[in-house]
Amino acid sequence: MGDSISNTTVPYTHQASLRLQLQSPLLLPSSLEAGLPADGQAPPAYEPSFLQTTYAMFFDPVSYQPLFYFIVIKGATTLLLTPIILAVVPVSLVLFFPAPLVLRTVRRVGLWQADLAMEGLGCGGLTKEIEIEILRLFTATAYPRPLVNMAATSETAGFKFNHTMLRVKDPKVSLQFYQDVLGMKFIREVRNDAAKFSLYFLAFDHDNSLNDIESKSDTEKWNTVIGREGVLELTWNHGTESDPDFRGYASGNSEPGKGFGHIAVTVDDLEKACGRFEKLGVKFQKKPSDGKMRNIAFILDPDGCAEIFSFQLDHES
């Protein structure tokens, strides 16, 4: 196409259009400055040399705007932005999307290193108890709880979540469930024959501070109840266990009386815990294999009014 244009009379006024369309070799500015006949009918002298055309482009960017932009401006912009994008985008993706995966990987690498260290010391590798303790420490550091020990006001600094109360139909059946199935420790019974109700207080005893609770006085037992956190109170209204017209309490998860959800108990091995629950004949509201949330299970207490939410400490989601 360049040859056909060079052999044709091209008006001077068409040069800007031709240059912008990039349909032929560009004119050197010197060729234009040399002047054309007044009638503008003489064919212009085209510069076929790429080197001279490129050289002229840097000294006359106005006449060579398309090439100047694509070769100089765009090239420089690309070279400037590329390393910034390559540096910022991967870091942003690592920080935003796979952060939980990174934390889990770091945690597993740490457990692997600890296992090697234990074997090197002749301790036979990590035990389940030591692994759980490491995970507790990791969770405390990797997922800090900024609200711990931070009361809203100085007036509420001494407030604690002491206990949750559940009404039960038959205390013998419920106490057996919470003690033998879930492993809670019985602390104290408060019986009120005049008002025809009894209260039973239980809690987990991970520090073995309740081993001698039975030998304590009523005052010491009560101080133990009000001094702890995470206590469970079972309330029994006398006679409900043998009343044929009593249909039980609302579970809180269905109408009527929907509102209460569940109490949560963490376990170190969900599969093992659920296998034990099945052997003990515990009723499941949801097994780990049901639904999409595979790291939780819901079991029912004897009244069906308290769902126990169990999940592994070392869960993956």
Q: How many CB atoms lie within 10 A of CB 27?
A: 20
Cis peptide before 256 (omega within 30 of 0): yes
Contact between 251 and 257 under an 8 Å Cβ cutoff? The reply is yes
Any idea how long the chain is? Answer: 317
Parallel/antiparallel/unpaired status of strands 296-300 and 231-237:
unpaired
C-alpha closest to that of 239 among 199, 201, 200, 197: 197
Q: Which residues contact 212 (CB under 8 A, 6 or more apart)?
A: none
User: What are 4's two structure tokens?
Assistant: 């056909």
* Amino acid (one-letter) located at 162: N
Q: Which long-range contacts (CB under 8 A, 24 or more apart) does 82-87 make?
A: none
What's CA 44's distance to the chain center, in Å?
69
The answer to whether the Cα torsion of 200, 283, 205, 251 is positive or negative is negative
Helix axes 74-96, 99-120, angle to 10 degrees: 60
Marked catalytic residue, from 129, 133, 155, 307 = 307
Residue 307 annotated among the catalytic residues of the structure: yes
Residues with catalytic roles:
307
